Structures are given as structure tokens and as C-alpha cells.
Amino acid sequence: MRRLVEAVMALALLAALAPLLILIGVIVRIESGRPVIFRQVRVGRDGREFEILKFRTMRPEGGTAEGAVTVAGDPRITVVGGVLRRTKLDELPQLVNVLRGDMAFVGPRPELPRYVALWPDELRWEILSVAPGITDPASIAFRDEPALLAQQREPERYYREIVLPQKATMYAEYVRGRCLRTDLRIVARTVEALVAG
């Protein structure tokens, strides 16, 4: 039932937001050409891999490296891309992922395979027992992650050794307490953070 409700909601939101999605796509295309949508392999429920969808926020010559560890002020980020990242509008295409069943509205954020391999063994399959989400408590807590990483001497290492373990713990805690009331609270906190930020 949950899956059906989320699919219907995703379809309704895609229909309602179609003008905005088209506008963003046109602006991205005008500023930096194709592709408009960035695709990257992430790990989903039960360890199945899927392609996450986002509006492209980096220059095409940035290749497929976009989305690994990106720090604030990265020169590959376009002007429009910077706005999309700050407002999280680059995440809107993930409504298609929800419609397909790859993702849910709320759930642990899907990570790259190489980062999933670094999760503690005792947490990995617990986290992967539910569908990954567009938002979750870790997304709110680490909303300013690019700025945090920009302050580090070795951003990639800091992410792997400091941020990733904290996120994994938060993902597992979310899974253990997962319920409709919790999800609604997380959605409300996400909207609040977007408006405030």
C-alpha cells in the first residue's frame, strides 16, 4: 500500500511541477548544453543498483565524477547549478525514481557503491532493508555538507572517515524507528530547512 501511495503522489507531483521541471531543463540546456539530466549508479533496497536522476549542476566536461564528494566553490559547478544545489531543486527528477520504485520520499539517502562498502557490516543490510529516500534525518543534519567539506584539507578522506559513519548510524536509527508519523515529521523538517536556508 505504501508503495502505491508514493507512486500516485510522485505522479501527481510530476504533473503539478511539469512547468517548473521544463523551465529548469531549458535553463540548464541554455547555460551549458546537454545532458540536462545527470545519472549516477547508487545502491538501493536489498543492495540492488539503480540510476539516480538529478538535474545536471556541473559542466559537461566534468564527466561522471559529479556527485561523488563535491565541496562548496567547486569550479565545475555552473551558475545555475549552484542555485539548484542550494535550493535542492536539482533533486526533483528523483520523483521519477520514486515513481519507478527505486526510491521513496523518505528513507536513507542512496550512496555510491564504494561508500556502501564502507558502512559497518552490522549496519549495511539493516540500512538496505528499506527503499532509499529523497530525504532523511541525515540529509537535514548535513544540509551544509559541501561547505563543511570545503573546510577540510582532504575532503574525500574526511567524508569517508567522519561524515559517512555518522550518516550510516543515522540511517540505521531511522530504519529502526520508521513509521508514517516519523516520515511526516521528516518531510516537515525538510521543507522547513529549505525555506529557512
Q: What is the pLDDT of residues 117-170, one digit of tens each?
A: 999 999 999 999 999 999 999 999 998 899 899 999 999 999 999 999 999 999
pLDDT of residue 74: 84
Look up the pTM and report it. Answer: 0.90
Question: What pLDDT, in 10s, does the model give residues 40-84?
Answer: 999 999 999 999 999 999 988 654 444 467 887 788 899 999 999
Query: Domain residues of the chain, as ranges?
Result: 2-196
d(CA 85, CA 181): 28
C-alpha torsion angle, residues 153, 154, 157, 163 (rounded to 10): 50
d(CA 141, CA 156): 19
pLDDT of residue 68: 66
Distance of CA 105 to the CA centre of its chain: 11
For residue 27, pLDDT over 90 is answered with: yes
For residue 97, pLDDT over 60 is answered with: yes
d(CA 60, CA 62): 5
Q: Report the phi/psi class of residue 130: left, alpha or beta, with left for phi > 0 and alpha for psi in -120 to 50.
A: beta
pLDDT of residue 1: 82
d(CA 74, CA 69): 10
For residue 29, pLDDT over 90 is answered with: yes
pLDDT of residue 194: 83
Q: Mean pLDDT over residues 83-107, rounded?
A: 96
Q: How confident is the model at residue 197 (pLDDT cuts 50, 70, 90)?
A: low
